[in-house]
């Protein structure tokens, strides 16, 4: 059986208690997932790990925006298109104003999310970008069997949020890395069973899994299995995670626990 794991953003900033955007419960999620990988390592055909990878200057970080007093927004501030139109928030660099305005308007039109200002996280070159230790050790043991993890980076384009590993929220026509990752979709389609896990259930997991399912087609969603006790939502966004699970179960995705084996 072609058994593949897709592990979404299992990084220190999300899954370690000292992380800048720690998701409560993600540390224990990681331990359970690591144990699952170790138990089944001889059966796993492929492991894909997505890595959120940002610059400090990013449209979803505080540095990018200021208010009328020149103050940057606090983390978790939501910036609506109307807030930019009426001047409540403007870009720190005046030359960025038009593109940022176009971006928040595009978010409003696609209906996925409003712009959320996150604490700077998963910064390129920093320790928070690394895979959390339990999972790093488990996949390292799998690689020692003469295998290689497929690392998929996302988020380095400063002009768009990139929750989904499949495509950015607003793809940049000049940056192929923000557009549909057809290579990843094609590889995942080869799986007989695709095990899904990672952080955070409400955002990066939800959007990645939805995009994978949309590109698989309804006939193939049944081979997707999300491990519920290895994913947690961002606090305050629990309903988004619950809605995602309800939606995907209705479409045919299965769920289970890390102690179960899906044959």
DSSP, collapsed to helix, strand or coil, labels residue 73 as coil
Q: In the chain, which segments carry CATH 3.40.50.850?
A: 3-54+129-256
Q: Which H or E run contains 78?
A: strand 78-79
Residues pairing with 103 in the sheet: none
| Choice between 53 and 114, residue whose per-residue pLDDT is larger | 53
The pLDDT value given to residue 96 = 98
Handedness of CA 191, 193, 198, 203 (dihedral sign): positive
Cα–chain-centroid distance for residue 177?
Answer: 15
Q: What is the pLDDT of residues 66-89, one digit of tens each?
A: 999 999 999 999 999 999 999 999
Give the separation between CA 176 and CA 165, rounded to whole angstroms. Answer: 13
Distant-in-sequence, close-in-space partners of 115: CB < 8 Å, separation ≥ 6: 59, 60, 78, 79, 80, 103, 104, 107, 161
The pLDDT value given to residue 219 = 86
pLDDT at 50 over 80: yes
Say if CB 194 and CB 225 are below 8 A apart. Answer: yes
Q: What is the pLDDT of residues 134-167, one digit of tens each?
A: 999 999 999 999 999 999 999 999 999 999 999 9
Paired tokens of 71: 């103050």
Distant-in-sequence, close-in-space partners of 224: CB < 8 Å, separation ≥ 6: 194, 196, 209, 212, 213, 216, 248, 252, 253, 254
Q: What is the pLDDT of residues 163-215, one digit of tens each?
A: 999 999 999 999 999 999 999 999 999 999 999 999 999 999 999 999 999 99
Paired tokens of 205: 């997991």
CATH architecture of residue range(s) 3-54+129-256: 3-Layer(aba) Sandwich (3.40)
């Amino acid at each position: 059986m072609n058994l593949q794991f897709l592990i979404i953003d299992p990084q220190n900033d999300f899954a370690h208690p000292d992380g800048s955007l720690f998701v409560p419960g993600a540390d224990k999620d990681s331990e359970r997932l690591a144990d699952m990988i170790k138990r089944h390592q001889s059966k796993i055909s492929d492991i894909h790990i997505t890595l959120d990878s940002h610059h400090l200057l990013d449209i979803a970080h505080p540095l990018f925006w200021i208010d009328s007093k020149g103050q940057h927004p606090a983390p978790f501030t939501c910036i609506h298109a109307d807030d930019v139109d009426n001047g409540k928030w403007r870009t720190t660099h005046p030359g960025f104003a038009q593109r940022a305005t176009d971006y928040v308007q595009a978010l409003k039109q696609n209906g996925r999310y409003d712009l959320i200002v996150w604490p700077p996280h998963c910064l390129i070159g920093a320790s928070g970008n690394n895979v959390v230790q339990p999972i790093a050790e488990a996949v390292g043991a799998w690689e020692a069997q003469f295998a290689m993890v497929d690392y998929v980076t996302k988020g380095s384009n400063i002009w768009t949020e990139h929750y989904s590993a499949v495509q950015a929220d607003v793809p940049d026509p000049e940056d192929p890395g923000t557009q549909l990752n057809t290579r990843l979709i094609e590889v995942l389609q080869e799986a007989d069973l695709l095990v899904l896990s990672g952080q955070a259930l409400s955002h990066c997991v939800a959007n990645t899994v939805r995009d994978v399912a949309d590109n698989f087609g309804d006939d193939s969603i049944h081979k997707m299995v999300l491990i519920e006790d290895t994913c947690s939502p961002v606090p305050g966004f629990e309903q988004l995670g619950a809605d995602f699970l309800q939606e995907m179960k209705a479409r045919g995705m299965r769920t289970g626990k890390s102690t179960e084996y899906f044959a």
